[in-house]
Structure 1
């Protein structure tokens, strides 16, 4: 017996298979689009597009949702093109700003300024009416009549530089024990805040931090967000400390080192092997670390603290990168750049850059080294 399938049944089965295939394709497309839109976007400190804990994507998004036009400037030329008298210029990551020309260009732009955690050179050019006064645990009640701070109330913002007026005739408004200061000059409102932690994605979760960050950065309807992630400008004719040391000093140091080596050899001779001796007490490693940290802080040895942080970070990173202790700085920077999403200039500055000049910069360096090590470990 021979059977024949109906043409109508075959057409129905083909249409059913087609609709199933279209449905599966639609589900895959929606899943891929959702993954693309919600995928984390790592980046540097205060970077507008970064969703990492130290990025600023959350604050930039909140400003846009509240009707503020945010112009993200990636370089100095973009800042110059976007500058207008009715605009607030937010300047962060100021340790990437070098050279007299760069700071002069920024200082000549119209509009108000919000300078976040400035270095000494940046503060002198962009906020000449204030000078550094010290450090403080940036937090608590505002203690001033600044509307933005009064609406925010108490805030918990971490360690910060403090500021005061550069001269007695400069009227300033000081909040949070000097961590936030504002004054008016030539019709321009200049605001300086000594910490950027409260403006990051993770810092907004602190008490009052989100409100204060929104009030300060959203003071105008149009904001230029400038947080460079690489070096802007160059220093011409800069001299190092070694250039200022007379040649005679090197010979004196060489003779002193030779004398010390001979004395150490003479006094270091032993007649037998070392004898192990039990310690009378057990000292925890954490107490040793805290004691050394207090000694560094009492002597303001930020250079030694920074060197210790960088040496420890490199000692943990080199085995993970497959490099030896004799690897050059450029080789280490290139290997780390292949494992993380940070700019090579940022990595070189954090791993091998100059010593910080303030406690806030040292705290920021430690945070940046922790971010680099965490990203290398997770890559």
Structure 2
């Protein structure tokens, strides 16, 4: 009758596999629940969906601000939209990096608001800061600053992505609120605001905590709001369509020239030092950003979402647990008959030939001496770990061999050839027999 196969390995394999499936299911459901930024309804001022922003748009219009909805950043850069305006980028990762870099050349009366830009976006735009940690979901936190829109709104659910410090050598930081999730800083002539979460702008989250007041305050500091409703990656700028960057001050007409030193916004903290901007920044953004971030991050880590690495780590852990489960016995040893009976003499001969082929003379004699020493110590009732001198004296006194011969037999030099190995093994066997039989061997002693 065939013996039933053991199912004991399931006890070790099933729990980690079940835990892995739960984690993977949770990650998949989490990603499924996250809004798609390429969805036309995402933070759109005309969308009434849960991820839309029509409620915020209505509140902005009620505050007396005119909203101009555009479908590209190039439209936001048109002459009629430049100056004394707020530009809202709800999906900055879709904006071409050249447009993001050109925003530093906008007039000082322009404000730019970016909603949760990623690390890649900040690096491509050559912003003077980078992202820190990003939580799985947004949370409500206190303002922790004296920036007027944040102080008036109170606790709000904008804390999700935190941002590092602004490089003081490149730009000036005006405000840092909500546990590093709301940053206001200068960039060229413009004032840039970075929001660490899209929750305060969404229809389904705007009513929580102080989200509505905070989002409305950020977008109503200017009489006009240009809402860039972008849901796909932009093409590079076209010189024919896009206006050229602001010309130097000396060539501008008085009517088109912005204020050389723009006035600080009233909602910015008055305690910080003012930044002098007598001239526009260098057209080469890399020159102003040198040394601000050090070495760029490894792009390989940004090529995949975070959950891919989590799943990879869990798979490695599961494989290690499976290997450990298969490597150790889950029960007592099982006695099984040997398929072939091998005589002891053949085993010794085969092992000896292996040693001979490897020319392991020293290892062979060392193994024989260790076995002989252990046997003699047991017969002479010596304590484990007895020293060399004590052991040699006891053996010599017991068998009558001279101590120097006993010492050379048990702890002598390694053999130089096969003949020396055979002679040392024969003498070791004679000494062992002398101790075992308790009869002195004068012939062996003389040798």
TM-score, normalising length: structure 2: 0.41
TM-score, normalising length: structure 1: 0.48
In our comparison, the structure showing a higher alpha carbon Rg is 2
